[in-house]
């Protein structure tokens, strides 16, 4: 049965590689629109640091989780409490900034 586990592991890695290659090619050819990803949606559409920190936190957690899966592909890895706190804090900062901006925009229009 270890052969079957090895086959499944290689198939899963192959699937991840293919998905990564397709997404990368779509990004490079412009089929996935990345314009404005790091810009504010309202106002002057300036650079948004809260979007950058949210993106970086997401990528860091994704790579950490993937590395844990690759270490032991026979089970789902435990999600560390620190990552949950990181995501909660990251989303709270992002949403807090959005709430603040929407309230200040409403005050200006009144």
Cβ within 8 Å of residue 27, ≥6 positions away: 34
CA dist 59 and 54 (Å) reads: 9
The verdict on 13 and 51 lying in the same domain is: no
The verdict on 77 and 98 lying in the same domain is: yes
Per-residue pLDDT band at 64 (split at 50, 70, 90) = confident
Closest CA to 50 of 92, 88, 15: 92
Phi/psi of residue 45, each to 5°?
A: 55, 45
User: Can you read off the two tokens belonging to residue 64?
Assistant: 């950490």
Cβ within 8 Å of residue 90, ≥6 positions away: 53, 54, 57
Residue 73: which domain range? 36-110
Average pLDDT of the residues in 80-109: 81
The verdict on 26 and 47 lying in the same domain is: no
The verdict on 49 and 12 lying in the same domain is: no
Per the structure, the count of domains in the chain is 2
pLDDT digits (tens, 9 = 90+) for 37-61: 888 777 677 888 878 888 888 888 8
The verdict on 65 and 92 lying in the same domain is: yes
């Amino acid at each position: 049965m270890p052969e079957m586990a090895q086959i499944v592991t290689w198939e899963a890695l192959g699937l991840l590689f293919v998905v990564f290659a397709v997404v990368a090619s779509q990004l490079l050819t412009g089929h996935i629109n990345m314009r404005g990803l790091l810009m504010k949606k309202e106002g002057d559409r300036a650079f948004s640091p809260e979007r950058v920190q949210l993106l970086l936190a997401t990528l860091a957690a994704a790579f950490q989780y993937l590395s844990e899966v690759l270490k032991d592909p026979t089970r789902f890895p435990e999600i560390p409490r620190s990552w949950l706190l990181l995501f909660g804090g990251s989303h709270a900062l992002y949403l807090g900034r959005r709430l603040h901006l929407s309230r200040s925009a409403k005050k200006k229009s009144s």
